């Protein structure tokens, strides 16, 4: 139920962007597919491939919904959209790996490698890219509102974001995920470890910049760049 819950969270957080009505039916179909596959596997019933294809079809529909939202300009531009698009690409890869896993099963080396790469593509590639994308929009807004409630000097959300390191985060993170998935599929431990180091490096930079943003919810001072002349003209 993790993927279903994540989609509900995503659509809830982006409620102001008014996702199309088809998004609700997509959630229902995903829930039905996950429930059917879970019961089938739990009781060793036939039909696992049918439910796997149903889940894949629901995820493809989800891809179409998000792509239309991005194409229509209903998601914020910049690195938010880049992470969202990359997350969609990872979802497509995860769907392919999930179907391959349904065919090969978990009984052999190939199946285990596919299952590992599938988890990486789904959790690190798809879900985490969307989490990063949403955090770029949500966290500055949370901090700006917290400062307003506390009576601190008003700061706009744009002033609370460090954008300098976002290209590094995007490249290092997704390149690392690709190396981890490729290393697992090829049985290359060295490649997977290198990818993990790249993901860790991007994660450290992301956490540092995010904590810097969140820290302004608890201190009176305002970001230095907000006091620079012409700051908003450069955005």
Of 14 and 184, more confident: 184
Span 171-180, average pLDDT: 98
**Residue 51 and residue 36: Cα distance in Å, rounded?**
6
Span 178-190, average pLDDT: 97
The answer, yes or no, to whether residue 10 has pLDDT greater than 70, is no
Contacts 24+ apart (CB under 8 A), 184-192: 184/113, 184/116, 184/117, 184/120, 185/113, 185/114, 185/117, 187/109, 187/113
Domain extents in the chain = 1-75, 84-224
pLDDT (tens digit, 9 = 90+) per residue, 111-158? 999 999 999 999 999 999 999 998 998 899 999 999 999 999 988 888
* pTM for the full predicted model: 0.77
| Concatenated DSSP letters of 164-194 | TTHHHHHHHHHHHHHHHHHHHHHT-HHHHHH
Q: Name the packing angle between helices 79-104 and 109-119 (round to 10°).
A: 160
HSE of 40, CA atoms in CB hemisphere, 13 A: 14
Q: CA 76 → CA 17, 145, 160, 171, 175, distances in Å?
A: 10, 19, 16, 19, 23
Local confidence band at 29 (pLDDT 50, 70, 90 cut-offs): confident
Mean pLDDT check: name the lowest of 26-30, 46-50, 66-70, 208-212: 66-70
Span 166-170, average pLDDT: 97
The answer, yes or no, to whether residue 1 has pLDDT greater than 70, is no
């Amino acid at each position: 139920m993790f993927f279903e819950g994540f989609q509900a969270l995503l659509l809830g957080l982006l409620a102001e962007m008014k996702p199309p009505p088809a998004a609700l039916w997509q959630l229902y179909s995903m829930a039905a597919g996950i429930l059917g596959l879970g019961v089938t596997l739990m009781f060793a019933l036939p039909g696992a491939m049918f439910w796997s294809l149903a889940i894949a079809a629901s995820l493809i529909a989800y891809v179409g919904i998000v792509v239309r939202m991005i194409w229509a300009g209903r998601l914020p531009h910049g690195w938010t959209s880049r992470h969202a698009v990359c997350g969609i690409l990872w979802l497509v890869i995860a769907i392919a790996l999930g179907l391959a896993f349904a065919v090969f099963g978990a009984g052999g080396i190939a199946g285990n490698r596919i299952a590992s790469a599938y988890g990486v593509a789904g959790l690190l590639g798809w879900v985490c890219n969307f989490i990063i994308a949403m955090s770029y929009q949500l966290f500055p807004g949370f901090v700006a509102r917290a400062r307003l409630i506390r009576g601190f000097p008003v700061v706009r959300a744009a002033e609370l974001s460090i954008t300098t390191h976002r290209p590094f985060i995007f490249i290092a993170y997704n390149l690392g995920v690709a190396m981890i998935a490729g290393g697992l599929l090829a049985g290359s431990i060295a490649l997977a470890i290198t990818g993990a180091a790249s993901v860790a490096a991007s994660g450290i930079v992301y956490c540092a910049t995010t904590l810097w943003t969140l820290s302004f919810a608890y201190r009176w001072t305002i970001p230095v760049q907000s006091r620079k002349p012409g700051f908003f003209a450069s955005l």
